[in-house]
């Protein structure tokens, strides 16, 4: 790399949250101060307004704030009355939270394979994993595009199963059904969940999450579970949890929701630069695009063949380019989840991906100079 470039360039981070904040700072600061002046910290007007605005954006009848994306999944499963021993089919190639809540509730995670192109759950393998005890499917819309929801909903209808979409990574992406109907990811199954963890596409400045549904009865139950199992204060009809989105986070999220589509466009711009720069490099595959889903690029994840992934990562680090492996160990091979009757070799696609995936820096703030530096660093490895 030429020294001059290194000298002037903004340091490259996986995600640049400070840079993003500076562009909306006065609006955010005022909103947060307004909450402090009102002291409406819990379930204040900001939360109610944000829930309305998020529901309207997604086209979901109900959007319910909660404390984080992990809680959102747990509350969804509690609201559906899943019972110990019920089987829940999920991918093994996901963040641990998806499976953690299944295990916590005494349900049995059943791991399904993913498709090698999109990294999303393989509907054919979901079909193979169904037993008389299966009660739910939890597709994860990994890295920013929706799983094949038409197929998953068809399987669910055939076998009378619930579908909970883990939409922590693909909020804002559009899924198109074969008949042309377009729906937002997270609003297609019985319940959808998301996370507002700071680095997520719609991130707040702390923890936060939300749950979506179009079903009035399910929405009522979700709100009850979030609120200690209570509809009337101090009367508890079901066992619940305490999980709330706080008002300051809601105030920040209202500001960022208005920019969510522009943020997705900025991520797509960076992704297109990467795609073009890596065209024709043997042993390097750019992210496959689902024919049915738009991509919001929570991550831009390469597949590096020839056993070169870790060497590429080390090469990039030397050039000042961070790169991360999401995720290094599939859940079915994690110590905490080895008791579910599945072993190394049972999910060959997932296991191979864990050795090949490498995510490059991706955020709303990558500038052309940084992108040039990153792509040059990748290309020089293969030169
Ligand atoms: C981030 C994430 C979660 C958990 O969200 P938190 O807000 O951190 O609890 C769950 N599932 C997936 C796929 C995620 O990416």
Distance from the CA of 382 to the center of ligand 1, in angstroms? 34
Give me the residues paired with residue 164 across strands: 191
Residue 186, ligand 1, Cβ within 6 A: no
Residue 293, ligand 1, Cβ within 6 A: no
Element containing residue 94 per DSSP (H, E) = none
Other C-beta atoms lying within 10 Å of the C-beta of residue 110? 22
Distance from the CA of 139 to the center of ligand 1, in angstroms? 13
Residue 194, ligand 1, Cβ within 6 A: no
φ/ψ region of 380 (left if φ > 0, alpha if ψ in -120 to 50, else beta) reads: alpha
Distance from the CA of 314 to the center of ligand 1, in angstroms? 27
pTM of the model as a whole: 0.96
Q: Which CATH class is domain 20-257?
A: alpha beta
Q: What is the pLDDT of residue 2?
A: 52
3-class state of residue 223 by DSSP: helix
Other C-beta atoms lying within 10 Å of the C-beta of residue 377? 21
Distance from the CA of 204 to the center of ligand 1, in angstroms? 13
Distance from the CA of 210 to the center of ligand 1, in angstroms? 11
Q: What is the pLDDT of residue 339?
A: 86
Residue 119, ligand 1, Cβ within 6 A: no
Q: Which CATH class is domain 260-382?
A: alpha beta
How far is residue 107's CA from residue 89's CA, in Å, rounded to a whole number?
10
Q: CB–CB of 198/169 below 8 Å?
A: no
Q: What is the pLDDT of residue 209?
A: 98
List average pLDDT for each run of 10 residues in the chain, which is 383 residues long.
Answer: 64 96 98 97 96 98 98 97 95 96 97 98 98 98 98 98 98 98 98 98 98 98 96 92 98 98 98 97 97 98 98 98 97 93 95 97 97 98 95
DSSP string of 33-58, one letter each residue: HHHHHHT--BS-HHHHHHHHHHHHHH
How far is residue 29's CA from residue 50's CA, in Å, rounded to a whole number?
17
How far is residue 241's CA from residue 239's CA, in Å, rounded to a whole number?
7
Q: What is the pLDDT of residue 4?
A: 52
Residue 297, ligand 1, Cβ within 6 A: no
Which residues 6+ apart lie within 8 Å of 235 measured at CB?
A: none
Residue 197, ligand 1, Cβ within 6 A: yes
Please write down the long-range contacts of 309-312, taking CB distance under 8 Å and 24 or more positions apart: 309/355, 309/356, 309/357, 309/358, 311/381, 312/358, 312/378, 312/381
Q: What is the pLDDT of residue 8?
A: 81
Distance from the CA of 369 to the center of ligand 1, in angstroms? 31
Q: How do the domains of the chain map onto residue ranges? A: 20-257, 260-382
Q: What is the pLDDT of residue 7?
A: 60
Q: CB–CB of 308/281 below 8 Å?
A: no
Q: What is the pLDDT of residue 268?
A: 98
Q: Which atom of ligand 1 is nearest to the CA of 169?
A: 15
């Amino acid at each position: 790399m030429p020294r001059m470039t290194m000298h002037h360039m903004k340091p490259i981070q996986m995600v640049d949250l400070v840079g993003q904040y500076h562009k909306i700072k006065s609006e955010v600061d005022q909103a947060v101060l307004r909450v402090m002046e009102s002291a409406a910290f819990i379930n204040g007007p900001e939360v109610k307004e944000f829930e309305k605005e998020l529901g309207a954006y997604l086209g979901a009848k109900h959007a319910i704030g909660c404390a984080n994306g992990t809680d959102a999944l747990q509350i969804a499963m509690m609201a559906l009355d899943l019972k110990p021993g019920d089987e829940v089919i999920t991918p093994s190639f996901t963040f641990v939270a998806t499976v953690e809540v299944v295990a916590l509730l005494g349900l049995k995670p059943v791991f399904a394979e993913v498709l090698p192109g999109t990294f999303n759950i393989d509907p054919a393998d979901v079909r193979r994993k169904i037993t008389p005890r299966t009660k739910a499917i939890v597709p994860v819309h990994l890295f920013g595009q929706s799983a094949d929801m038409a197929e998953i909903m068809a399987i669910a209808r055939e076998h009378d199963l619930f579908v909970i979409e883990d939409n922590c990574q693909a909020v804002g992406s559009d899924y198109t059904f074969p008949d042309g109907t377009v729906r937002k990811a997270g609003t297609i199954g019985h319940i959808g969940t998301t996370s507002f963890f700071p680095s997520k596409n719609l991130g707040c400045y702390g923890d936060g999450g939300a749950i979506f549904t179009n079903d009035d009865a399910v929405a009522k139950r979700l709100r009850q579970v979030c609120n200690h199992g209570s509809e009337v204060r101090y009367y508890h009809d079901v066992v619940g949890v305490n999980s709330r989105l706080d008002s300051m986070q809601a105030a920040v999220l209202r500001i960022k929701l208005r920019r969510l589509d522009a943020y997705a466009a900025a991520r797509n711009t960076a992704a297109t630069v990467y795609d073009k720069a890596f065209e024709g490099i043997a042993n390097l595959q750019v992210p496959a695009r689902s024919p049915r889903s738009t991509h919001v690029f929570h991550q831009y994840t390469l597949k590096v063949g020839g056993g070169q992934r870790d060497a590429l990562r080390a090469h990039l680090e030397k050039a000042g380019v961070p790169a991360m492996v999401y995720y290094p160990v599939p859940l079915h091979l994690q110590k905490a989840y080895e008791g579910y009757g599945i072993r190394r070799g049972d999910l060959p696609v997932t296991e191979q991906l864990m050795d090949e995936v490498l995510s490059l820096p991706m955020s709303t703030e990558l500038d052309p100079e940084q992108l040039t530096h990153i792509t040059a660093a990748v290309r020089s490895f293969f030169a």
